[in-house]
Structure 1
Amino acid sequence: MKVYWIALYKKIDSQENIKKYGAKVTDIIKSYGGVPLVRGGKFNTLEGETYPRTVIWEFPSYEKAMECHDSKEYQEGWALAKDTTERNLQIVEAFNIE
């Protein structure tokens, strides 16, 4: 079952740090089967809180998404931005109506 890695960025204090993070982790995430679906872009908040950036990756399985997140390589990349970034990050299984 496919899984979605959903990052809602609440605050980004350093655009430079978030760009470094993105450049470092993109290939790492892809190596775990991640496919980028949403990476910023135009948005309109219709209800609830506004987040300045949303990122969604699709993974082939929950295990692969967790393995990626917990990997030393990903954590080293996240270290580039975590002190200047506040986000909500969830890994969520898709559902199948069949």
Structure 2
Amino acid sequence: MKAYWISLYTKVNDQENLKKYAETVTPIIKSYGGLPLVRGGKHTTFDGDDFFRTVVWEFPNYEQALKCHQSKEYQAGWDLAKKTTIRHMQIVEGFSTE
């Protein structure tokens, strides 16, 4: 079953830090099988909080998504932005109706 990283951003105090983070972690995430599906873009909020930026990565499975997030390489990349960025981040296993 595929899995998804879903990051909902509420505050970014330093766009340059976020840019460095994205440039650093994108190849790391891809090396774990991550496929970018959503990164910002137009959105409409109907219910709940409005997050100005949403990022979604698809992974081959839940274990691979966790392994990537827990990797030293990814954590070093996140260190670039975590002091100036507030986000809600989850890893969620997908499901199928078939």
User: TM-score normalised to the size of structure 2?
Assistant: 0.98
In the alignment, the residues of structure 2 paired with residue 54 and residue 12 of structure 1 have an alpha-carbon distance, to the nearest angstrom, of 12
Does residue 40 in structure 1 map to residue 40 in structure 2? yes
**Aligned-pair Cα RMSD in Å:** 0.6
Partner of 2:30: 30
Q: CA deviation at 1:86?
A: 0.6
1:62-77 aligned within 5 A:
62-77=62-77
Runs of 4 or more off by more than 4 Å in structure 1?
Answer: none
Distance 1:87 1:67 in 2: 20
**In 2, Cα distance between the equivalents of 1:72 and 1:25?**
11
Instruction: Give the whole-Å Cα distance in 2 for the aligned partners of 1:72 and 1:93.
Output: 22
* Amino-acid identity (%): 64
- Write the letter of the residue equivalent to 2:57: W
Task: Trace 1:10-21 onto structure 2 (pairs within 5 A).
Answer: 10-21=10-21
